[in-house]
Amino acid sequence: MMVHRKKKPALVIVAVLTLLCIAPTLAVNAKQERKLRFRQNGEFKILQVADMHFANGKTTPCLDVLPSQVAGCSDLNTTAFINRMISAEKPDLIVFTGDNIFGFDATDAAKSLNAAFAPAIASNIPWVAVLGNHDQESTLSREGVMKHIVTLKNTLSQVNPSDAHIIDGFGNYNLEIGGVKGSGFENKSVLNLYFLDSGDYSTVPSVPGYGWIKPSQQFWFEQTSARLQRAYMSKPAAQKAPAPGLVYFHIPLPEFAYFDQSNFTGVRQEGISSASVNSGFFTTMVAAGDVKAVFTGHDHVNDFCGRLTGIQLCYGGGFGYHAYGKAGWERRARVVVASLEKTEKRGWGDVKSIKTWKRLDDEHLTGVDGQVLWSKTSSGS
């Protein structure tokens, strides 16, 4: 009697497909388990890197530098600057605010992205990125760029929030920063970070110019802000006011044009290249009630912060050497530090103040324009 062994190829295929389906979810969950929280000294430091415009590395020349800097100047100068900043500031989080690569000059988008983010990856410091208007101009679409970024080591970036079924763009997500471990705020998010895709260019034929933050994104922001505020102001350790929020995206809002030399810190050396329509996102943030500051890039030789209706609107300042700039005006990076209130009984409380400064890529990494963006006692600078 011949015995036939039963083959189960269908079961094997199902098993393989199941693993493939759950793998991205497991990766996302693993990233979420890497909880960000304030240091034992009561501080949380963020390094903003705006407009790297990375392309092909050492073969990509620098733009707008002094004649004495031209020889040998390349994308590698951008890499060196990031390494210097990481070494000097030792941030808890690095935020890349778009135009991470300059697509037109990047032969292979994936390779350029890998090289651009290499210092952050090597540092083992958590990092995140949003898209600018040039990231998708190489060999990957905007979705493709964001999907590649989230695969890289140490990043907490997300393609989009898992609970948002319909949302415009790629790279809309938030991070919660917990209080000091062992304190009464250990299980509270005492600082909330929001990241949004401000688009590239208008897709409306009658509206020229750059993109903007769409209603679906604003709805997600409103819902997320409200949820975080409910959690923060509920037991245990219910708080009377929302935790402060910081928002990062690439293209500045039209409201950045409301300032003049008398009411901001830093410099304005070019026009405000916002969308030609106002999508109302600034009003949405004001209404939410928790946002204290917004950080953008896009306009490389602007680096100011100005306060409008209780929210600080800040540029990072041009960072990358293959990006346009101004010869003799050093590339720069913005640092933000949130500090907790010291309490007698539990050690560390909620956020007391948020400060910022910039560092220049000169011999001494000179710090400039230090200011208080927000504090519990007063919201002046």
- Claim: this prediction has a pTM higher than 0.75: yes
| pLDDT mean across residues, the chain | 92
User: What is the mean predicted confidence (pLDDT) over 297-309?
Assistant: 98
Give residue-wise pLDDT tens across range 30-69.
454 578 999 999 999 999 999 999 999 999 999 999 999 9
User: What is the mean predicted confidence (pLDDT) over 149-159?
Assistant: 98
Residues 6+ apart with CB under 8 A from 253: 274, 278, 281, 282, 294, 296, 313
Rounded distance, CA 234 to CA 35, Å? Answer: 21
For the CA atoms of the chain, what is the radius of gyration? 22
Residues 6+ apart with CB under 8 A from 234: none
User: What is the mean predicted confidence (pLDDT) over 207-217?
Assistant: 97
Q: How confident is the model at residue 25 (pLDDT cuts 50, 70, 90)?
A: very low
Rounded distance, CA 354 to CA 308, Å? Answer: 16
Q: How confident is the model at residue 183 (pLDDT cuts 50, 70, 90)?
A: very high
Higher pLDDT, 194 or 236: 194
Look-up of token digits 């098993």: 15
Q: Does residue 9 carry a pLDDT above 50? A: no
Give residue-wise pLDDT tens across range 71-116.
999 999 999 999 999 999 999 999 999 999 999 999 999 999 999 9
- Return the exposure string of 79-91: e unless at least 16 CB atoms fall within 10 Å of the residue's CB, then b: bebbeebbeebeb
